[in-house]
Structure 1
Amino acid sequence: MFPTTQTESTILPARTLYTNATVFTANGSPAEAFVVEGSEFVHVGGEAGARRAAGDGAMEVDLAGGFVLPGFVDAHTHLLMMGQALQKVQLRDAVDLTDLQHRLREAAAATDTQRILGAGWLYSTLAGEQPTRKLLDEAVPDRPVYLDANDLHSVWVNSAALAEMGITRDTPDPIGGRIGRDPETGEADGMLYETAAQQIVWPALAAHATDEDRDAQLEEAFANYLAVGVTSAVDMAVQDDDLAAFRRALDRRNGTLPIRVKGHLLVARHESEADNLAQVAKAAWLAAELHSDWLQICGIKLVVDGVIDSCTAAMKEPYADGSSAEPIWDRESLIPVVAAADAAGLQIALHAIGDEASDIALDALEEAYHRNGPRDRRHRIEHLETVTEANVRRLASLAVVASMQPVHADPAIQDNWRSVLGDHRCERAFPWTEFTDAGATLALSTDAPTAPHQPLANMYVATTRRSALEPALEANLPKYALDLADALSHATRDAAYSCRAEDRQGRIAPGYLADFTVLDSNPLQADAAQLLTNRARLTVVDGTTAYDAGTSADSRLAPRGQRLNQPA
């Protein structure tokens, strides 16, 4: 039986023997038992050897045939945004515009909050109709409505929201972004793309939230992650509000957190190179200040382009409608920032979805290598949804990590993605195995809340290329599907490598931190569909039980006794 979780996390004796399990070590050799002393694994192997290593007086935990694996490392996520999204009107599964409007009306009727916030809407829900403020006015005319697109790269708002933000026909577009406008009148049409969302909408909403709101949202993210076996996360767009929330969470727990967090400071593009470089200097200062087992600022994040769904990703060839999108960061502006961050020893994560964007990102990294000389860098390119074969090889030769999200390839959200490209590029979409075949390190993550945060659903898409949202749909380019054991390693061992944590995280091996999760059943011996029903029944962080499904039927328990609501 599992250790009992009371109102505080179970802190086990100095040495604990875990038996009766199948142990996926992500280290090349399976095991059936292991010993934890304090916060570390001290022995992993067969039961007899583990018993000898545990010695007299050790507590024994019978795992009842469970499947043990290293805690998942979500190598690209947005913690505060994830907690916020879980509290918004859920729109990802809205079947059509009528359904979406109905959900907004219901939300407005059920609450007297000043604003209606929604998350996850898909362009395909509109069946070719353009998202406009008027469509939202039909549902909620009297209160501001703010709806995050599924990819978080655009926000759809109603007329009341535009008025609240003071956006008029004369409001200029920010660098790298666009305010959607009616082609006849020039008035704002209710869509804000890329940096218009990041630099106008996000700060406006942040101004209406309190620190208490943000603390609750962060706790919501922590608890949801623990309930699905995630023990570490890399936040890929850290800003001042995120950082302040992390600091408060540390203070509440005397310097610890429920999961381990690494962060990349979001660097926004400005006209002035000096302003851009000042953000790099800030990241370097924070990296020196925040460097513990629980919270580190390890680098910067640069959003080189947009996304394919809204035709803002930088592509080498036009979209199906003949349009093209410029990158948010061109080579001239990007190279000085990348070179400075590289010289400062920071990790650089470059969002590059379009094939032209990955060209720009790799050019900037190559120039930084040339200027600053050889060393272990561990830079990353995020998403890589379309990429040339030449750049797959170039990425591998530069030892750049391919950071990718299987859930973005879910067939249920691909209709609009494929239609706006409409050509040969659809046949090499999300080519995960091309990167591994070329010798690159592939780190898998979810990019929550742009996709569901559950790692087992992510593994299902990775290993089948089928939909975790609508499993009956046909697979999306199954030639790129991953072996499940490989996918699990990419989401644990390689995800830890992607954030320079491979010496202590991502494996079950002596000397590694005792961060692990126990699933109900062995997914390697079951049909892939069972990944959608399998569950984490125990999550241990730093040798301490952080989540136990057996004692958390009515509540999730975060470490240090923080009670939260039922998982979404």
Structure 2
Amino acid sequence: MISLVIIRLRSWFQSCAKNWNHELTLKPTTQILILCSLLPLFHFQLSAQKTSFADLVVINAKVRTITASDSIAEAFAVSGNRITAVGTNKLVRTLIGPSTRVLDAKGKLVLPGFNDAHVHFMPIGNSFSSIDLRYVTTANEMMSRISRYVRFLPKGRWILGGHFKNEDSQLPDRKSLDAVTSENPVFLYTADNTKAFANSIAFRLANLKDDSSGVERDLANEPTGIVRGIALRKIADSVPADHIRNWLEVGETATNYAASLGVTSVQDMHSDDSRNVYLELQRQGKLKTRVFDCLPLRDWKKLRASRLPDGHDAMVTDGCLKSFSDGDEAGRAPLLRDVTAADAAKLQIMIHAIGRDANRIVLDVFENVAKINGPRDRRLRVEHAHKVRDEDLHRFSRSQILASMQPFLFDRSPDSRFGTLMKQNAPVAFGSDAAMVDMNPLLGIESAVNAGSESVSVYNAVRAYTIGSAFAEFREKEKGTIEVGKLADFVILSDDIFTIDRKAIRNVSVLTTVVDGKIVFQEIKSL
């Protein structure tokens, strides 16, 4: 092999000599020394050729890169967890090798993964800890509701709640229930709590036999799934006492749900310090969402002393502190004191503010802190920034204070001024405030583009939900757009939200979600 390389390189020397219009007159020993010095370069070229195929490619797509409003590509390639090429189908097809996974988007819209800048992640997971069946009127509707929960719950997690009307006509039979809940125990109370509906797994975990006292049976002497009395209490006693505090299961539910909505990153404002939970989910291979986890402002010393490694590929990051202003002047001085101290520790601060007085106090505090601690890229954030005085709006752009806003939470409200703030070139990030409302980012985008005088373009709404939110957590160099070098976090949608009727955006669904170069959600038979 080496001799072949030397021959080729010597031929290259000779061709160079002809181009230079003189003979190559170097001594043979000098030529060999030069050739040996070039061998590592040639080896690098061979290695690059061996590893040039992509691990994943997306072709036949309408890729909105969100690097510019008119930036559209047909395809892109991923190697490892990074995007390595963006362009035409012809270009990207050259990167398909024997082991490359090919996603044919069939003309569908592809966007950077959505980044929800304001969530309460554990409450999102816990919203699936109990199912509300009070208004269910048919067996099919009950089955549909239960099946939806099964999609997101970890294997083995109980499905509880219910409170449905006790009418046999609206209950599925136990065999039908077992078919859709083969890996999750089900225990659902009637509206008066005197009976409950349970599947076979719940019976087994409670060591309850089909012929036990309190187990209802049909005319064919088969158990219906309805239990009462001793049988009901026996199953109830089998439900884990820590059901709503089993944070690994709750967190796994939340990340499963986020993946189904194309949310590839979240910024957790719940301030419960769940970093270890998220890291353990990552260790187990169950974390499908990048999480920027915030602590309470009062815990700034704890955060300073326990920062996570700031890796470029990190799934779990920290460095943010959350606080609250209700507009009470009595809170101004302690807020300034705490924010000044935390900011001096180079930590990022975000403060909840709804109302004219609350927003003014927070803006005053932030501008004072910048004067006290001196200039730096601090990206101070006002969470909600709702009902800001007209005369205070320009302060966001002037002081580069970030407005973290939730269009769907304040749907069509004239006091949600994201359109004005964008026109003033203020930094704006979008989120949901889930679990207060549904996490679905398409609901937020639909609200933002149908907000009357505050309406923004679809591009600007998507931008606020992607690169805008990445900027809000200091990660805009790593994610938020589809371009070479960025993390491979993206979503494929069922419809093109840039061309359909704006009011129909909320009905668009997610076909595929990719995080860190891996498919974490795919609608059945979608692609």
* Residue pair 1:236, 1:263 contacting (<8 A) in 2 also: yes
SS of 2:346's partner is coil
| Partner in structure 1 of residue 57 of structure 2 | 17
Q: Over aligned residue pairs, what C-alpha RMSD do you find?
A: 3.0
Q: 1:244 to 1:542 in 2, by over 3 A?
A: closer
Could you tell me which amino acid in structure 2 is paired with residue 435 of structure 1?
L
* Residue pair 2:332, 2:361 contacting (<8 A) in 1 also: yes
CA distance in 1, matches of 2:304, 2:243: 28
Could you tell me which amino acid in structure 1 is paired with residue 121 of structure 2?
L
Q: 1:43 to 1:445 in 2, by over 3 A?
A: same
Q: 1:398 to 1:92 in 2, by over 3 A?
A: farther
Q: 1:93 to 1:236 in 2, by over 3 A?
A: farther
| Partner in structure 2 of residue 64 of structure 1 | 106
1:507 aligned onto 2:527? no
CA distance in 1, matches of 2:350, 2:128: 26
| Partner in structure 2 of residue 364 of structure 1 | 365
1:462 aligned onto 2:448? yes
CA distance in 2, matches of 1:498, 1:251: 26
Task: Report the TM-score when normalising by structure 2.
Answer: 0.67
CA distance in 2, matches of 1:91, 1:330: 43
CA distance in 1, matches of 2:317, 2:241: 28
* Residue pair 1:35, 1:41 contacting (<8 A) in 2 also: yes
CA distance in 2, matches of 1:73, 1:87: 24
State the 1:88 CA deviation.
3.9
CA deviation vs aligned residue, 1:75-106 (integer Å, no higher than 9, x gap): 11011011112334559999xxxxxxxxxxx9
CA distance in 1, matches of 2:357, 2:381: 16
| Partner in structure 1 of residue 3 of structure 2 | none
| Partner in structure 2 of residue 301 of structure 1 | 322
- Stretches of structure 1 lacking an aligned partner (at least 5 in a row): 1-12, 95-105, 112-138, 143-206, 268-275, 306-313, 315-325, 415-427, 466-477, 554-568
* Residue pair 2:430, 2:465 contacting (<8 A) in 1 also: yes
Q: 1:109 to 1:24 in 2, by over 3 A?
A: closer
Decide which of 527, 536, 561 is 2:510's aligned counterpart: 536
CA distance in 1, matches of 2:118, 2:514: 21
State the 1:264 CA deviation.
1.3
Q: 1:447 to 1:93 in 2, by over 3 A?
A: farther
CA distance in 2, matches of 1:378, 1:405: 18
1:261 aligned onto 2:291? yes
CA distance in 2, matches of 1:446, 1:538: 21
Q: 1:510 to 1:546 in 2, by over 3 A?
A: same
SS of 1:525's partner is coil
| Partner in structure 2 of residue 389 of structure 1 | 390
Q: Percent identity?
A: 29
| Partner in structure 1 of residue 301 of structure 2 | 281
Q: What are the within-5 Å matches in structure 2 for residues 98-497 of structure 1? A: 107-108=162-163, 209=242, 213-240=246-273, 242-253=274-285, 257-267=287-297, 276=298, 279-288=299-308, 293-305=314-326, 314=327, 326=328, 330-410=331-411, 428-465=414-451, 478-497=452-471
Larger radius of gyration: 2
* Residue pair 2:86, 2:483 contacting (<8 A) in 1 also: yes
CA deviation vs aligned residue, 1:94-121 (integer Å, no higher than 9, x gap): 9xxxxxxxxxxx945789xxxxxxxxxx
| Partner in structure 2 of residue 26 of structure 1 | 66
Could you tell me which amino acid in structure 2 is paired with residue 493 of structure 1?
I
SS of 1:64's partner is coil
Could you tell me which amino acid in structure 1 is paired with residue 508 of structure 2?
N
CA distance in 1, matches of 2:253, 2:165: 22
State the 1:53 CA deviation.
5.1
CA distance in 2, matches of 1:410, 1:91: 27
Q: 1:39 to 1:381 in 2, by over 3 A?
A: same
| Partner in structure 2 of residue 190 of structure 1 | none
State the 1:367 CA deviation.
1.7
Q: 1:55 to 1:14 in 2, by over 3 A?
A: closer
CA distance in 1, matches of 2:486, 2:469: 15
CA deviation vs aligned residue, 1:223-273 (integer Å, no higher than 9, x gap): 111011010100012214x344324323423xx721110011123xxxxxx
CA distance in 2, matches of 1:225, 1:72: 10
Q: 1:545 to 1:289 in 2, by over 3 A?
A: closer
State the 1:16 CA deviation.
2.5
* Residue pair 1:286, 1:297 contacting (<8 A) in 2 also: no
* Residue pair 2:76, 2:87 contacting (<8 A) in 1 also: yes
Could you tell me which amino acid in structure 1 is paired with residue 262 of structure 2?
G
| Partner in structure 2 of residue 185 of structure 1 | none
Q: Compare 486-495 and 51-60 and name the one that shifted more.
A: 51-60
| Partner in structure 2 of residue 558 of structure 1 | none
SS of 2:102's partner is strand
- Stretches of structure 2 lacking an aligned partner (at least 5 in a row): 1-52, 137-160, 167-190, 195-239
Q: 1:91 to 1:454 in 2, by over 3 A?
A: farther
CA distance in 1, matches of 2:192, 2:374: 57
Which has the bigger relative contact order, CA under 8 A and spacing at least 6? 1
State the 1:286 CA deviation.
2.8
SS of 1:443's partner is strand
* Residue pair 1:264, 1:349 contacting (<8 A) in 2 also: no
CA distance in 2, matches of 1:440, 1:492: 16
Decide which of 47, 55, 63 is 2:89's aligned counterpart: 47
* Residue pair 2:133, 2:162 contacting (<8 A) in 1 also: no
State the 1:52 CA deviation.
3.8
CA distance in 2, matches of 1:302, 1:357: 12
Could you tell me which amino acid in structure 1 is paired with residue 368 of structure 2?
E
* Residue pair 1:16, 1:36 contacting (<8 A) in 2 also: yes
Size of the alignment, in residue pairs?
379
Q: Compare 522-531 and 478-487 and name the one that shifted more.
A: 522-531
Q: 1:356 to 1:69 in 2, by over 3 A?
A: same
* Residue pair 1:299, 1:346 contacting (<8 A) in 2 also: yes
Could you tell me which amino acid in structure 2 is paired with residue 511 of structure 1?
G
